[in-house]
Amino acid sequence: MATVSFDQATRVYPGTERPAVDKLDLDIADGEFLVLVGPSGCGKSTSLRMLAGLEDVNAGRIMIGDRDVTDVPPKDRDIAMVFQNYALYPHMSVADNMGFALKIAGIGKEERAERVRDAAKLLDLQDYLERKPKALSGGQRQRVAMGRAIVRNPQVFLMDEPLSNLDAKLRVQTRTQIASLTRRLGVTTVYVTHDQVEAMTMGDRVAVLKDGLLQQVDTPRRLYDHPNNVFVAGFIGSPAMNLLELPVVDGGVQFGGTTYDAGQEALQAAAGNTVTLGVRPEDLELVPEGEGLSVEADLVEEQGADAFIFGHTMVNDQSHDMIVRVGGRRPPEKGAIVWVRPQKGHVHVFDSKTGLRLGD
């Protein structure tokens, strides 16, 4: 087990100007489950591959524990790429399927057996060790494959979208298993996904990347409640946060027919006459006609307890998409007009030009 540090780590692909990963500074604690998340091309997989030794590091360095591994070959880094391959061998017992890589690594019989037993216990496979993989269910086979990585006792687990080829149901199930397993093992884990829901449900902390730059690294709660910039605000959360560019006026921002007090400290810090106001769908409340902004419901998605209105509003003669969460008992119908306003204190203010968070 070990800490992992990216220290100004940079990767520039030959023939490109913009770094795929740009001066990444990231410290991952011993035993932490850290998720790298971001849209396609953000540099999350490249970062993971740099840690794995699959990408050259053009500047900066990467540490595992106290060891600078920047120029260490992948197999000597004491890491395990999980789910790289979960082929199981039909003639070998479950125990051999889990332990064969240890044999290749020259580890003695007794130690192999011990490590396999320990892993099997964690994975609830003790009773199957002497069986052939054929006798296992699909889920058990997947656990055997995980066992293969576990028995190696690596310092760090690396996982690059390991669930992407599972169907939705198995994906939810497996992500819970992975998260709880790695925590029980206490092995530092770096996990890459493009799915922010996966990131938020699994990570102790989540690092959000865009265009090769680290945007924010925080606990899921903090990312949700306190996004550092407009990108993180829009990326984290499902359905996404509403982001509207609104004029700053005396006493707040002009929110349709209402002046909304978005916090003087934040508004004073704004560079221009407008700010970008972020409001999560659940932080909008319905108000009487004429107050706040009017939203026309284009689609209403009923989820039982709640309903989501997917609609649009007009700000400065421009149409903006709006998502509003309302109670599930009596949601408006498609085509209805509702009036909304942020609940007191539940907004995020960003500089319209820089996109950075203003105020707390």
Residues that bind other proteins (CB under 8 A): 13-16, 20, 40-43, 45-46, 49, 52-56, 73-75, 84-92, 96, 100-101, 103-104, 132-134, 164-165, 167, 194
Distance of CA 170 to CAs 68, 123, 147, 173, 198, Å?
A: 38, 17, 18, 5, 13
Report the residue number, 90 or 288, with the smaller CB distance to other proteins: 90
Q: CA 128, CA 164: separation in Å to the nearest integer?
A: 27
Report the residue number, 158 or 349, with the smaller CB distance to other proteins: 158
Nearest to 41 by CA among 64, 16, 60: 16
Least Å distance between CB 30 and other proteins? 24
Least Å distance between CB 345 and other proteins? 36
Distance of CA 329 to CAs 1, 173, 294, 307, Å?
A: 50, 30, 21, 8
Least Å distance between CB 91 and other proteins? 3
Least Å distance between CB 251 and other proteins? 42
Report the residue number, 38 or 331, with the smaller CB distance to other proteins: 38
Report the residue number, 102 or 181, with the smaller CB distance to other proteins: 102
Least Å distance between CB 88 and other proteins? 5
Report the residue number, 92 or 269, with the smaller CB distance to other proteins: 92
Residue 311, beta-bridge partner list: 297, 322
Least Å distance between CB 38 and other proteins? 10
Least Å distance between CB 159 and other proteins? 13
Least Å distance between CB 6 and other proteins? 16
Report the residue number, 40 or 273, with the smaller CB distance to other proteins: 40
Report the residue number, 75 or 330, with the smaller CB distance to other proteins: 75
Sort strands 156-160 and 188-193 into parallel, antiparallel or unpaired. Answer: parallel
In this structure, the number of other CB atoms found within 10 A of the CB of residue 289 comes to 10
In this structure, the number of other CB atoms found within 10 A of the CB of residue 217 comes to 21
- 3-class secondary-structure state, position 109: helix
Starting from the edge strand earliest in sequence, which strands make up the sheet with 293-302, in order?
A: 284-286, 337-342, 293-302, 306-315, 318-327
Distance of CA 14 to CAs 19, 58, 71, 258, Å?
A: 10, 10, 18, 53
Report the residue number, 75 or 221, with the smaller CB distance to other proteins: 75
In the chain, which ranges are continuous DSSP H helix? Answer: 44-52, 94-104, 109-122, 138-150, 168-185, 196-202, 220-225, 230-235, 264-269
Identify whether the C-beta of residue 159 lies closer than 8 Å to the C-beta of residue 189. yes
